[in-house]
Amino acid sequence: MNKKIKIADLPVFDAAEHLKDEADIAEYLTVVLEENDPAALAEALGTVARARGMAVVAEASGITREALYKALRPGSQPRFETIQRVCSALGVRLAAVAVV
């Protein structure tokens, strides 16, 4: 007999648990950038920052931890300078690619 599983009993998926190194981070951010959604990028950077440790990223970027949480929460619209500083702290950079 098959045991039924309730949706509420399923574990919550957290992408941060699967971002083990810079290559994973770069691939994840590349996929998000292809969506052309600034809010999705901010949220993805927040996910990556959680994977690396928000306090560590905050210190490396020169942004307070509280401001970083606020800037990278879902639906936020951080300034480009903030995006650049967080990317630098994470060891990745944004790149332009010609659309074909």
In tens, the pLDDT along 38-74 reads 889 999 999 999 999 999 999 999 999 999 999 998 8
User: CA-to-CA distance for 43 and 45, rounded, in angstroms?
Assistant: 5
pTM above 0.85, yes or no: no
- Domain locations in the chain? 20-90
User: CA-to-CA distance for 98 and 24, rounded, in angstroms?
Assistant: 23
User: CA-to-CA distance for 83 and 41, rounded, in angstroms?
Assistant: 9
Q: Is residue 1's pLDDT more than 70? A: no
